[in-house]
Amino acid sequence: MQPIKSIEVISTGNGQPLIILHGWTSGTVDWVDHVNIFSQSFSCYYWNVRAYFDDTTTIELLAKDLHSVIHHYGLESPVLLGHSMGTLTILEYLQQYGENNISAVIFIDQSPKIITDENWDLGLFRNFSKSDNESFVKNLEENFTDTVMNLLLDSKHLSEKEQEILLRSKFFSDRVERIRNFDPHPWIHCWKSFVYKDYREILTKINVPALLI
């Protein structure tokens, strides 16, 4: 690991640079198995975002951290892979810095506009209004761990039986234990910074190869 402005970047593998940006309340631990495969063909760079230690974390700061990593390591033509909030980080990066030097982007499980309204039904769960978000943030402030895990369950669109299986899984218990140890304030602050963002116009300006998963 090498620190860059207080974030610790993990780098491994050989080949074209691949930068992996994890999702909200996720972390590098969730990408280890993937990186073991990716690193056979790419030089992988990934890190825990500053919400792990910085109360002032915003999506704008996450994009600046991405920019700092690219320039610190002198990465040429990296592929950017973002899951959930990681996708929003890439979109914010493209809005701030453009796509010069970026060879391709990969967006996983994220809408360019989270809040839904009468003109947009492709946000979070296709039905996540401004009032839904206000209730969600209030719940985060009252019981962060349960609210985050309920969001995870809702995102899966699982049957009752499938939910029971997930609730008994090691993945779920490990995630609960990890989030229980979080300081919720940086994560809530970060959520508030991106939940009302609208990156739809940025999508129309992407001219490098893009994969949507």
| pTM tops 0.75, yes or no | yes
104 HSE (CA, 13 A, CB side): 10
Rounded distance between C-alpha atoms, residue 27 and residue 137, angstroms: 21
Contact 21, 89 (CB under 8 A): yes
What pLDDT shows up at residue 171? 84
What pLDDT shows up at residue 4? 55
Q: Is the sign of the CA dihedral 166, 141, 182, 64 positive or negative?
A: positive
∠ Cα 117 60 53 (to 5°): 110
Contact 103, 208 (CB under 8 A): yes
Rounded distance between C-alpha atoms, residue 15 and residue 40, angstroms: 8
Q: What parts of the chain have a pLDDT lower than 70?
A: 1-5, 155-156
What pLDDT shows up at residue 191? 98
CA distances to 108, 114, 122, 152 from 157, rounded to whole Å, are 17, 17, 15, 10
What pLDDT shows up at residue 46? 98
The order of strands in the sheet holding 2-4 is 2-4, 7-13, 42-47, 16-21, 79-83, 104-108, 210-212
CA distances to 28, 53, 96, 154, 179 from 49, rounded to whole Å, are 9, 8, 18, 24, 14
Q: C-alpha 92: how far from its chain's center?
A: 12
